[in-house]
Structure 1
Amino acid sequence: MAHFQLPEVPTDDGLWGPPTGLGAAQALPEEFRQIPFSPFSKSDRIGRIADWNTSGSTSDDRNAASTVSGRSTRNTRGGSVPAYPTGAPVNTFAYFHAEDESSFSVVDNSRSTATRRGAASSAARGARGGAQAGARTSAFGRGGAQAPAASTRGGRGGARVTPVSTMQRGARRGGYRDWERTQRKAREASITVAPDWEQLSEIDFVRLHKLRMDVEAPEDLASYGALYAYDRSYDRVSVRFERPLQPRDRVHYNPTTSDDPVIQEIAESPDNKAQVFITDSILALLMCSPRSVYPWDVVITKTEDGKMFFDKRANGPFDFVTVNENATEPPIELNDPANGPNPERNVRARINTPSALSLEATFVNENFGFQVCDESKKPYKFSHPNPFHTSADDGQLASCGYRYRRFNLSTDEEDPVEMVVRTELNAYVPGATAKAPPSQFITIRTLNEFDSRAPGAGGAPDWRSRLDQSRGAVVATEMKNNSFKLARFTVQSILAGADNMKVGFISRANPLDPYRHVIMGTSWFKPKELAAQMAYSLANGWGIVRTIIDLVRDAPPGKFVLVKDPNRPIIKFFKVPNDFDQNAEEEEEEEEEAAPEAPEEE
């Protein structure tokens, strides 16, 4: 065990402290007798924070240097610096760093505040009248206008001001009412946090970015549904040969995890070893959550035997597609001050709100997937029919195949963690011959353009003039403005084992008409290559999911809600009552009953 032995310290009975004279030399240990003593001053600021932004030496540095050299002990501003004891070897431990600094080079070429002030004052010395007043450090003139940071020249009547645009070529030009855009209201949460909810944990996105976990290839458990062939004629669609988007009445099922009969059958099977059950849309959102900006929530149910079901709420954010969520200036609400005093009269403002654009993008995404499938050819049927379609009276089924796959998220063989995921495929690419099996299974997604001149467009180019010539620039802009949405599309395709992802570029026929759209082009993307282009790490996504699973495993059985903060990059984990969904529905019914009926018009 480590120990420390105190040295022997001789004392003087007549005086306080160690003995003086010959006894002092004997009291000092022999290993310290030849080391010279470096005096110090009580005014030395030990622990002072270094200011690296200050140009040149400070007054304290100059005073210390002058004191060491013996020239002066007086501060230039009138304050005195106490001198060291007379006759002390002050240069014993002096450090000169001039030679060391000669090997360094300046990386940051930005001008410091002191340099700008010195330049402004030197430029204004020869000015007369308003020139001297304009070169002062105050940013406001006599009339209250802000003076630009420009050079001044001496003149008789005033200063000659160089335009700011000639000094800052790359500066962004301010738009109309930009000062009001910073005063937007905070976003509202996707779900109201009740007072009886108990917050168990909170995770910020910075921590989520650092998580990593490698997961092996999944195991297919079952497959259901039927797929139609993809119509190859849409590969030839371009801006010059665009096609109108035709709405089609098809039935597409996307129930939550707890309402899936196949998942319930797998969970109750005696051979089941999985503890986590989830759908691909919820799993992709969790894996891409650090890219999300808008609020969302996930309901988690943990049973007594340790099984965990991740569910979505009806009409929640999982059922809709966002637009320009990651743009520098996303779409604005109707009551935003930038829309003016009467936004209800502004047609462009009414149809380009985040909620209106989300409904439009969801409509476009669904109908494009229905339209590009060739229903005249024989469909490819999986081993089981659609588990959610009960009778033919419900309508014609859309092209959709469900794959139930099991992923192993275990980090230790003694503590296995397995997950069952329901994934979706949208179509297949036929083989070389009519009797050949499908060559590829694909997913179908869309990117939509609403109005390149409207607020919230995110600097996207006009597709009618740039899509055919510079498709790469259009895709790069969409990756920036819709990073979260594209990452979710890509992860869903990877989870389903799709060979390719078909992306359609849909635009409005008229920028002021959100109900008529045209198909302006299509592109093929391999999911893993697209993830690499977007700098998305699949290992990071699995690490995020395993961290959330560990939070639920450490909690007691019950019901929980995972909430994305609407205005901060934070995820909160709440313990909620088991009937909180029912309470919300009862409150809505009571409000509807209590609402007064509208008077009938005569």
Structure 2
Amino acid sequence: MSFTLPPLPDAEDTWGPNPSYAKLPIHEVPYAPYSKADKLGRVADWNDLDGNKNANQNQASFAQASSTTQRGGRSGRGRDGQAAFGSGTTNTFAYFHVEDESSFSLVDNKIGGPRRAVGFGGRGRGAPARGGAYAGNTRTSTQRGRGGNLNARGGQMNRGGRRGWKEWDKNAPRRESSVAINPAWKMLEEIEFTRLSKLRLDVDEPETLETYGRLYQYEKSYDRVNTKTERPLQIMDRIRYNTTTSDDPVIQQLASRNVASIYATDSILSVLMCAPRSVYPWDIIIVREGDHLYLDKRDGGPFDTITVNENAAEPPVDPEKDKEKDALNSALSLSLEATYVNQNFSFQVVKEDAPPLDFEKPNPFYGPDEVEPLASCGYRYRLFDLSLNEDEDIKIVVRTEVDAYQPSTGKGDNGLMTIRTLNEFDSRAPGAGGAPDWRSKLDSQRGAVVATEMKNNSCKLAKWAAQSILAGAETMKVGYVSRANPRDNSRHVILSTTTMRPTDFAAQLNVSLSNGWGIVRTVTDMCMKLPDGKYVLIKDPNRPVIRLYAVPMSAFTGEEEIEEEPIPEEEAE
């Protein structure tokens, strides 16, 4: 389609277009749709007209030029969220500045008035935010957008506003992997958490195969403890075992009888079931031996400690430059403190002088040479059927743990329970996650305290609920333990104790056991297709992704480091 410039009449006493234009058909009138909020950067554009590429290209640009069509760069969205008319088409009259806009700067008015932004699109919006000042006198033009400008409306960092896309991960901590990944390892699979969240598998009630250990009765007086009648947390020497799956003698006996094809513990299985909630890195060692699959943990790995505020917006971090700076509230120190508090609380709230509840067999890990007394702990080996139909025979044996029992008031069985603790370190310290002061809010506003803990420790609480359900516990005791002094992590006091049903608690946390079983079935099916050997499932330290690696059989046993030691040159010769 060609365009012929119409003759321009030589009329000195008229203004406006030629009256003959009104005779043109409506479809021949050139028109480009635009929104009222669009910024017009050109008076006319002759370059888009075929046959006139070499025409006069004189262009007039406005001083307030910008490539965005909406204030703040929201791409043609009106205030009501609807797309502005014409925003979906290419703006013919948009003006693109061909020079680098790095010259955009701020003029410092040292007389005392507010600093104003000088540059394209300033319009007086460059004044510093209330209560804050610029760190320097220069800013690139890319920071003018909504949320990207440190002082723009809705993006004020000093008032808790949204951060720009370039500032989002600027201060995010870079965590290290829970295990050093050898370059020689072969990555087999990579699964994102979004895929894991969509899995579902309904599992019937399990069968309890064997029970081991001894349980003590729970002391009911701790249910009446409050902030005014707090009790000190005692240090008690008791033995409690956390043996990995393949080293469990009971699981070895069950595997020799081919009771199931998959073996795991409740702590390992709960991490896998609640993987989409996890933020901190973790790893699970998977060993395939014939038709059997073992899910193991590493000694000293993340399964031996308890996390603190893992899901908080700004979780605790370990200091990098200065190891002594705020080491009291670092992520590692808080994790060790939480583990210490959880163990001693479960030791203290049981009555060892009351008649114990003995299971069918004694503790399988307690040897005759042990001197210290055993802690109240019972092991229940339960069989779950993961088969999808009658033709399949996929079962898993899980070693579950319970911590105490509640005497039955009637003729029924004694109620089994699990015991856990939430600990407060310092509500004003970095990484506290906005938690209120427990001593002033726990009695009057317990709901606010619980809601904050559910937000900051979503993964940890979800794992506790899953472990209690797997063990078949009727109740779950959660103690609130705080430091006696915020600057001393060695002395603690018990402020309160609450009781809840594991299924109700899981519903409050929006924990889906069917989703957890779907994740377990997917991972185990993926591993059962692999040849015999050792594998490791690693959660990426900084991304919501899990990866499966094939590793040598000597990995994580201490033999791999010896084999990889370099041979001296003299011996090599």
| TM-score normalized by the length of structure 2 | 0.74
Taking the aligned partners of 1:111 and 1:517, their CA distance within structure 2 comes to 60
Deviation, 1:413, is 2.1
Alignment correspondent of 2:366: 389
Amino acid at match of 2:121: T
In structure 2, the CA distance between the partners of 1:41 and 1:218, relative to structure 1 (3 Å rule), is farther
1:404 and 2:381 are equivalent in the alignment: yes
1:440 is displaced (CA, Å) by 1.2
Aligned with residue 441 of structure 2, among 429, 442, 466: 466
Relative distance call for 1:110 and 1:81 in structure 2 (3 A) is closer
Alpha-carbon distance change, 77 to 319 in structure 1, aligned in 2, over 3 angstroms: same
Q: 1:268 aligns with which of 221, 238, 256?
A: 256
1:41-80 equivalences under 5 Å are: 68-72=26-30, 76-79=43-46
Of 273, 277, 300, 1:315 maps to 300
Question: For 1:85-118, what per-residue CA distance to the aligned partner results, in whole angstroms no more than 9, with x for missing partners?
Answer: xxxxxxxxxxxxxxxxxxxx97428999x9xxxx
> Which whole-Å deviations, capped at 9, do the CAs of 1:294-318 have from their partners, x for residues lacking one?
11111111112x1011110101100
CA distance in structure 2 between the aligned counterparts of 1:130 and 1:428, rounded to whole angstroms: 68
Q: Please list the CA deviations of residues 437-494 of structure 1 after superposition, one character each: whole Å capped at 9, or x if unmatched.
A: 6531100000011110111000111111111111111111111100110000000000
Aligned match of 2:340 = 363
The residue type paired with residue 522 of structure 2 is: T
Partner of 2:230: 242
CA distance in structure 2 between the aligned counterparts of 1:330 and 1:587, rounded to whole angstroms: 37
Which amino acid in the other structure matches residue 270 of structure 2? A
Q: 1:588 to 1:528 in 2, by over 3 A?
A: farther
User: Within 5 Å, which residues of 2 pair with 1:224-303?
Assistant: 224-269=212-257, 272-303=258-289
Do 1:73 and 1:81's aligned partners in 2 also have CA atoms closer than 8 Å? no
Report the Cα distance in structure 1 between the residues aligned to 2:115 and 2:249, rounded to whole angstroms.
Answer: 81
SS at match of 2:227: coil
Give CA-to-partner distance per residue, 1:122-143, whole Å, 9 cap, x none.
xxxxxxx999975851576998
Matching of residue 541 in structure 1 with residue 516 in structure 2? yes
CA contact (8 A) 1:429 1:438 kept: no
Cα distance change of structure 1 residues 220 and 511 upon mapping to structure 2, 3 Å threshold: same
- Structure 2 equivalent of residue 198 of structure 1: 186
Q: CA separation in 2, counterparts of 1:359 and 1:240?
A: 27
For 1:564, the aligned partner's letter is K
- Corresponding position: 1:332 with 2:309: no
Which SS does the other structure have where 1:406 is aligned? strand
Kindly report the root-mean-square deviation, in angstroms, between the aligned alpha carbons of the 2 structures. Answer: 3.7
Cα 1:166–1:302, aligned 2, differ >3 Å: closer, same or farther? closer
Q: CA deviation at 1:582?
A: 3.0
| Alignment deviations for residues 220-249 of structure 1 (CA, whole Å, 9 cap, x no partner) | 101111100000000010011100000100
- Decide whether aligned partners of structure 1 residues 281 and 111 sit closer, same or farther in structure 2, where only a CA change above 3 A counts: farther
Alignment partner for residue 108 of structure 1, among 78, 81, 95?
Answer: 81
Equivalent residue letter for 1:275: S
Q: Deviations over 1:481-534 (max 9, x none)?
A: 001100000000000000010000010000000000000001111111111111
Q: How many residues are treated as equivalent by the alignment?
A: 468
Distance 1:109 1:235, change over 3 A: farther
- Between the aligned partners of 1:247 and 1:41, the Cα distance in structure 2 is 92
Does residue 124 of structure 2 align to residue 137 of structure 1?
no
Counterparts of 1:585 and 1:167, CA distance in 2: 51
Equivalent residues of 2:154, 2:162 under 8 A apart: no
Instruction: Give the conservation status (yes or no) of the 8 Å contact 2:116–2:126.
Output: no
Against the structure 1 CA distance between its residues 67 and 229, is the aligned structure 2 distance closer, same or farther, given a 3 Å change threshold?
A: farther
1:335 counterpart letter in structure 2: E
Residues in 1 aligned to 2:199 and 2:563: alpha-carbon distance in whole angstroms: 40
Alpha-carbon spacing, 1:451–1:41, altered in 2? closer, same or farther (3 Å) = farther
Does structure 2 conserve the Cα–Cα contact (< 8 Å) formed by 1:73 and 1:83?
no
Does 2:540 correspond to 1:555?
Answer: no
Change (3 A) 1:67 1:516: farther
Distance 1:538 1:72, change over 3 A: closer
Paired with 1:41 and 1:172, the residues of 2 have a C-alpha distance of 57
Structure 1 gap ranges (5+): 1-39, 43-65, 85-104, 115-128, 151-162, 337-341, 592-602
2:404 pairs with one of 410, 427, 437? 427
Higher Cα radius of gyration: 1
1:166, CA displacement in angstroms?
A: 11
TM-superposed deviation, 1:194: 1.2
Q: Which letter maps to 1:298?
A: I
Match of 1:125 in 2: none
Contact 2:468 2:502 in 1 (8 A): yes
Q: 1:182 is matched by which residue type in structure 2?
A: K
Corresponding letter in the other structure for 1:137: G
User: Unpaired runs of 5+ in structure 2?
Assistant: 4-23, 33-41, 52-77, 88-112, 128-133, 146-150, 567-573
Report how far residue 192 of structure 1 moved: 1.1
Distance 1:83 1:287, change over 3 A: same
Give 1:395 shift. 1.4
Question: Residues 266 and 477 (structure 1 numbering): CA distance in 2 closer, same or farther, change over 3 Å?
Answer: same
For 1:523 and 1:136, locate their aligned partners in 2 and report how far apart those are by CA, in whole Å. Answer: 60
Change (3 A) 1:73 1:513: closer
1:581 aligns with 2:548: no
CA distance in 2, matches of 1:166, 1:575: 48
- Looking at structure 2, the residues matched to 581 and 506 of structure 1 have their Cα atoms a distance apart, in angstroms, of 35
Give the alignment of 1:83-94 within 5 angstroms: none
Distance 1:180 1:202, change over 3 A: closer
Q: Is the 8 A contact 2:214 2:377 kept in 1?
A: yes
* Distance of 1:173 and 1:461 partners within structure 2: 21
CA distance in 2: counterparts of 1:183 and 1:259, whole angstroms? 42
What are the residue-to-residue correspondences of 1:111-122 with 2, within 5 Å? none
- The 1-side partners of 2:160 and 2:340 are apart by 35
Could you tell me whether the CA contact under 8 Å between 2:311 and 2:457 is conserved in 1?
Answer: yes
Contact 1:451–1:511 (CA under 8 A) maintained in structure 2: yes
Q: What letter is aligned with 1:236?
A: R
One-letter amino acid matched to 2:360? S
| Residues 557/168 of structure 1: CA separation in 2 closer, same or farther (3 Å cut) | closer
Give CA deviations for 1:369-416 in whole Å, capped at 9, x if unaligned. Answer: 000001110101011111111226331010001100000000132221
Question: Does the CA contact (< 8 Å) of 2:173 and 2:317 recur in 1?
Answer: no
Distance between the aligned counterparts of 2:236 and 2:115, measured in 1?
71
